[in-house]
Amino acid sequence: MGAAEWETSYREASDVARTTGLNFGSPACYSALRMLTDCVNWRIGAKSTQKKTSRVRLSVLLVGRSIGLQPTSWAELRDHAGPSAVHTLDPRLAGNHQAIIHESLWLFEEYVRAITAGRMSVETSIVSLPELQVPVTVEDRHLWTISAGLEQTALSQVWTAVSEAVKSTTDWWWVIYPSNVPEQFPDFAEQEFLTGGMDAGPDGASPVFVIDDRWLIRKPAPFLGKRDYSLEERWAYLPQWFQHEFFHYLFRIYPEFRLEQTDHQWFDRRAWPGDFEGRWESDYFSESLHRILRFADPPLESKLHYSAGTKSSEPRTIGAPDDEQAIRNLVAEFSAARSARDPKRLSLFYAENAEFIPFGGSLIKGRAAIEKVWTPVPDVQTVRTIRSIRFIQPGEAAVQLEGRIMSPADDFKWLDDFLVTKALDHWKIKVHRSLQR
């Protein structure tokens, strides 16, 4: 992971892309291999009797037409000018039973199963909207690329065109619209255009992937934009785009972990948490997942449901038939209460006669006394990662955690030892000891 050889691959991949038109991402295939590693590890480690899998419905919306000004030169782009152009969706997306769409999604769908330990699977439904025409634009937003995407009102038109039946059964969305990228004109032959990203669905919360149709068909400039993607490139590169946008969304819905306090903060290696090891974007995503998000509460497999049939107002409880998962829930919910700076809620995770030994402090006995120690909760954000769970006997387990202050300016770490016990199907902390690492 992040070895020096990939640096060479990163440089060579750019040269290969320009000379042969191949695009497997940079470093070449690195993101796909990291995702595939998670998938293989899960498949190998999966138990013969899996827990019940919940499904999320991904509705892929194929927008029939787009219309907007298309500049033919840099001068027209700066003046917001150019001829009006109407585009129709590339028919290859619908051909061969929508094979291109499914090829682009395969690894991402498998990845979702892997990162939720098989508790969530993606069910894809393709919805064609041939009569829908949405507005598009080309403009310089003073970013690192030029935008050639949907106008601000376009998504509201999409939601109006989608039936209530589809809305009520959809958790995630993917909107694909006809491209307005003016790459046929000499001024823009080597220009990269931003044509999509992540947005919110008709309910204002569900995730929406947005992209133009050419993104699935051909390599965008500077990757020789007139060359079509091969099957292998779709398998290896397009899942990298899905992962990038998906983690934008995950970081947004779990703000307590501060994994994207500034836009694309992982582009600056100095902004990574101190115990993260890798070098590339997909390293940041993988470590965010395995060190933090897998232990979040609510967990991924419950928080990522949005359709009417999967919403629930019932609060999650710590008790569960699976003792190990129940303990993980306890730790996750304890961490969430700590992030919320709620001393009363924190105290409820301790047994009535619990003992707490903070590092550098004396023994504190009893839930009421422990609540006073947590009042007020320090105004710093922390994260706790489970290192091990060891069952001592039925109804009793030792849990070791690693704690870290989530601040680039403070790399303070410590260890937490919990002795947890089970009573009336609920796990509580009986002994809590903190040690400076």
- Condensed to tens digits (0 to 9), the pLDDT of residues 152-183 reads 889 999 999 999 999 999 999 999 999 999 99
Are residues 217 and 354 part of one domain? no
Residue 200: CB partners within 8 Å, gap ≥ 6?
A: 206, 207, 208
Are residues 127 and 36 part of one domain? yes
Take residue 142 and report the two structure tokens written for it.
Answer: 């003073």
b/e per residue, 335-356, with b = 16+ CB within 10 A? Answer: bbbbbebebebbbebbbeebbb
Q: pLDDT at position 10, please?
A: 67
Please report whether residue 287 resides in a domain: no
Pairing status of strand 193-194 against strand 146-150: parallel
Are residues 214 and 328 part of one domain? no
Q: pLDDT at position 409, please?
A: 57
Q: How far apart are the C-alpha atoms of 257 and 272, rounded to whole Å?
A: 12
Task: Output the domain CATH number for residue 374.
Answer: 3.10.450.50
Tell whether the model's pLDDT for residue 87 goes beyond 90. Answer: yes
- In sequence order, which ranges of 292-366 are alpha helices (DSSP H)? 300-303, 323-339, 343-347
Q: pLDDT at position 82, please?
A: 95
Chosen domain end from 231, 250, 269: 250
Are residues 120 and 25 part of one domain? yes
Contact of 63 with 177, CB cutoff 8 Å: yes
Cα-based distances in Å from 292 to 25, 43, 193, 359: 26, 21, 33, 23
Number of domains in the chain: 2
Are residues 221 and 349 part of one domain? no
Q: How far apart are the C-alpha atoms of 383 and 258, rounded to whole Å?
A: 10
Take residue 419 and report the two structure tokens written for it.
Answer: 């002795």
Residue 394: CB partners within 8 Å, gap ≥ 6?
A: none
pLDDT > 90: percent of the chain: 39
Contact of 266 with 281, CB cutoff 8 Å: yes
Chosen domain end from 202, 231, 250: 250
Q: pLDDT at position 31, please?
A: 92
Residue 95: CB partners within 8 Å, gap ≥ 6?
A: none
Task: Name the pTM for this structure.
Answer: 0.69
Are residues 208 and 78 part of one domain? yes
Q: pLDDT at position 383, please?
A: 82
Reported residue count of the chain is 437
Tell whether the model's pLDDT for residue 315 goes beyond 90. Answer: no
Q: What 3-state class would DSSP assign to 311? A: coil
Are residues 223 and 78 part of one domain? yes
Q: pLDDT at position 110, please?
A: 94
Q: pLDDT at position 50, please?
A: 55
Looking up tokens 């091990």 gives 388
Chosen domain end from 225, 250, 275: 250
Tell whether the model's pLDDT for residue 332 goes beyond 50. Answer: yes
Are residues 328 and 239 part of one domain? no
Please report whether residue 339 resides in a domain: yes
Please report whether residue 269 resides in a domain: no
Residue 110: CB partners within 8 Å, gap ≥ 6?
A: 39
Across residues 37-47, what is the average pLDDT?
85
Mean per-residue pLDDT over the chain, rounded = 85
Are residues 330 and 243 part of one domain? no
Please report whether residue 197 resides in a domain: yes
Contact of 115 with 300, CB cutoff 8 Å: yes
Q: pLDDT at position 7, please?
A: 72
Closest CA to 180 of 229, 136, 115: 136
Are residues 243 and 328 part of one domain? no
Residue type, 373: V
Please report whether residue 315 resides in a domain: no
Please report whether residue 291 resides in a domain: no
pLDDT bracket for residue 312 (50, 70, 90): very low
Across residues 341-368, what is the average pLDDT?
86
Are residues 365 and 228 part of one domain? no
Q: How far apart are the C-alpha atoms of 184 and 243, rounded to whole Å?
A: 29
Q: pLDDT at position 382, please?
A: 82
pLDDT tens sequence across 209-265: 999 999 999 988 766 556 889 999 999 899 999 999 999 999 888 888 888 877 888
Query: CA 209, 207, 250: angle at the middle one, nearest 5?
Result: 105
Are residues 363 and 232 part of one domain? no
Tell whether the model's pLDDT for residue 387 goes beyond 50. Answer: yes
**Which of 134-138, 159-163, 285-289, 335-339 is predicted with the least confidence, judged by mean pLDDT?**
335-339
Q: How far apart are the C-alpha atoms of 199 and 388, rounded to whole Å?
A: 37
Cis amide bond preceding 27, omega within 30 = yes
Contact of 88 with 114, CB cutoff 8 Å: no
b/e per residue, 257-283, with b = 16+ CB within 10 A? Answer: bbbbeeeebbeeeeebbeebebbbbbb
Q: pLDDT at position 321, please?
A: 45
Structural domain harbouring 178 = 5-45+60-250
Please report whether residue 409 resides in a domain: yes
The 382-393 sheet, strands edge to edge? 364-365, 350-357, 426-436, 413-423, 396-405, 382-393
Contact of 393 with 403, CB cutoff 8 Å: no
Q: What 3-state class would DSSP assign to 138? A: strand
Please report whether residue 92 resides in a domain: yes
b/e per residue, 367-377, with b = 16+ CB within 10 A? Answer: beebbeebeeb
